[in-house]
């Protein structure tokens, strides 16, 4: 099963930008797109009709987060290993 969602996060350090809100109205420092990949498998001992969650992967674009951490001084360009 694949899914897309918004990943919301609060970051360390002082930010200058405005907050973003999720669908419940909670405020966060940043919002980035994310993807989810769930793998299910048959297992006769599983609670839910013989199906259980085998693995989960979450991916997200770290670029906007890194940029914001650099702006806040939490990261330095040298931390990027460039």
What residues does each domain of the chain span? 2-80
Q: What is the pLDDT of residues 39-78, one digit of tens each?
A: 999 999 888 889 999 999 999 999 999 999 999 999 999 9
Q: Using an 8 Å Cβ cutoff, are 32 and 51 in contact?
A: no
DSSP annotation of 82: -
**Chain centre to alpha carbon of residue 76:** 22
Helices and strands in the chain: count of H runs, count of E runs: 1, 5
User: Contact at 8 Å (CB) between 76 and 45?
Assistant: no
The Cα–Cα gap between 10 and 29 comes to: 5
User: What local confidence, expressed as pLDDT, does residue 82 receive?
Assistant: 75
- pTM exceeds 0.75: no
Confidence of residue 30 (pLDDT cuts 50, 70, 90): very high
């Amino acid at each position: 099963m694949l899914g897309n969602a918004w990943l919301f996060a609060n970051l360390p350090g002082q930010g200058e930008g405005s907050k973003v809100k999720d669908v419940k109205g909670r405020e966060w420092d940043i919002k980035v797109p994310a993807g989810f990949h769930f793998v299910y498998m048959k297992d006769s001992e599983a609670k839910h009709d013989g199906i259980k969650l085998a693995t989960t992967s979450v991916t997200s674009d770290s670029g906007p987060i890194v940029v914001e951490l650099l702006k806040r001084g939490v990261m330095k360009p040298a931390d990027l290993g460039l």
